[in-house]
Amino acid sequence: MSALFQILFLILSVKVLGEAAERIGIPSVTGEILAGILFGALFLDVETGIVTFFAQLGSIFLLFTIGYKEVSLRDMKPAALVAFVPTLSQIAFAFAFGFALGEIFDFSFVQSLFIAIAFSPTSIATVLSTLIDLNYFSSKPGKVMLSSAILDDIIGISLLSIVVTFARFNRAPSILAILTIAGKILLFLLIMYILGKYFFPRLFIYSQKMHAKEAVFSLVIMIALFSAYLAEFFELHATIGAFIGGMLISEISLARTPDVQSKVEGLAYGILIPLFFAFIGFSIDLYDLINAGFFVPMVTLLALSGKLIGGFIGSKAIGFNFCESLAFGIVVMPRAGIELVMLTIGTGAGIIDQETFSAMVFMVIVSILVSPSLLKFAIKTERKNRTCNEMNIG
């Protein structure tokens, strides 16, 4: 079957099923993963190399757009200190629950550590529309949630670098190897900082003066790809470099004009990122998922409860009331982008098998489906209780 037709079918199916998901009130990523499952069922002779290439580009631009659009260091500063405690709490609980899962099912130390790391990221984007619809971002808990999401992305990328390290060695690396890797990471960050501070802004000034069409947009795309390549040169994962590159140019005003942002989103969310989510669905083995038995609900239960409990305890520690803490715990429950990138790395490196991969993707889908409804319930309950208290005081 023609590779061109397969890509055409994938783009069509992710859009149709993504739209169907949105219309019934769930994030489009669920429909896009389902499109990948459908693709695997309908096509027996898949052009895997081409599909994988587009999926890799999708993972790069997923992390790039998170850094470019969602992570704003200026927005993070006001509530960053307050958000630090609940962020660390929810990550620590999720990490502990993930490691415990591996120990319960007799996984190796590296496999248990990988699952613990893969349990740790959060995707607030899946509940973003709920927070906006309920006008919750303007509240103190809403601001802390936003700062926590940014911190979580940064910590998640740091954990991803650990995943890449273990993927390369498939065991705990030696002290010398750890120091070597740390040196490469620091050198990469130093080079990127210098480029972002002094070189990239001048490139954007020059590109704005060029007569060639879409020069600024092209430069943004080139920086995304260059950052990904440079990370791979230093033996990091390409997505880590893309995230750092996105963060750096997010501070450059010429790179963040509405017109350029619209074009970047069109390429990323219009084509590449949905193809990455479809590839995740295509990679799921339904037979392994069915035969995994008790393991699948255990993954889902521990992954979601770790975030819920950790977020609740951490937010209570900074003075949130019961319902506000419950809402915070629910906000950090869903997983999507960084989590799925980690899983593809772990599977590709042979750290986790197909059964574990499929069970973790199932957990991601469940977290996406249940979180918005639970969050609406928590916020509406909190507002109802606040109104009752104000009436009693009055």
Establish how many alpha carbons lie within 13 A of residue 232's alpha carbon, considering only the half-sphere containing its beta carbon: 11
Taking residue 316's Cβ as centre, other Cβ atoms within 10 Å add up to: 19
Q: Is the separation of the CB atoms in 255 and 216 below 8 Å?
A: yes
**pLDDT, average across residues 180-200:** 88
Residues, the chain, total? 394
pLDDT of 144 reads 81
Establish how many alpha carbons lie within 13 A of residue 170's alpha carbon, considering only the half-sphere containing its beta carbon: 6
Q: How confident is the model at residue 201 (pLDDT cuts 50, 70, 90)?
A: very high
Please give the radius of gyration of the chain, using alpha carbons only, rounded to the nearest integer: 21
- pLDDT over 60 at 350, yes or no: yes
Report the b/e string of 64-92 with b at 16+ CB within 10 A.
bbbbbbbbbeeebeebbebbbbbbbbbbe
pLDDT of 299 reads 94
Alpha-helical (H) ranges within 286-353 are: 286-291, 295-317, 322-331, 337-348
Q: Is the separation of the CB atoms in 262 and 256 below 8 Å?
A: no
pLDDT of 48 reads 81
First to last CA, the chain: 72
- pLDDT over 80 at 4, yes or no: yes
pLDDT of 226 reads 95
Name the residue with higher pLDDT: 210 or 1.
Answer: 210
The residues near 359 (Cβ < 8 Å, ≥ 6 apart) are: 289, 292, 295, 296, 299
Name the residue with higher pLDDT: 152 or 200.
Answer: 200
**pLDDT, average across residues 242-261:** 88
**pLDDT, average across residues 306-321:** 91
Least confident piece of the model among 135-144, 205-214, 316-325: 135-144
Locate 392 and state its tokens.
């009693």
Digit-coded pLDDT (tens) for 73-108: 665 555 667 788 899 999 999 999 999 999 999 998
Locate 161 and state its tokens.
């670098």
* Residue that has been written with the tokens 């890509």 in this structure: 7
CA dihedral 128, 250, 239, 197 (to 10 degrees): -150
The residues near 64 (Cβ < 8 Å, ≥ 6 apart) are: 224, 227, 228, 242, 243, 245, 246, 268
Q: How confident is the model at residue 324 (pLDDT cuts 50, 70, 90)?
A: confident
pLDDT of 338 reads 77
Q: How confident is the model at residue 166 (pLDDT cuts 50, 70, 90)?
A: low
Give, for 122, the enclosing helix (H) or strand (E).
Answer: none
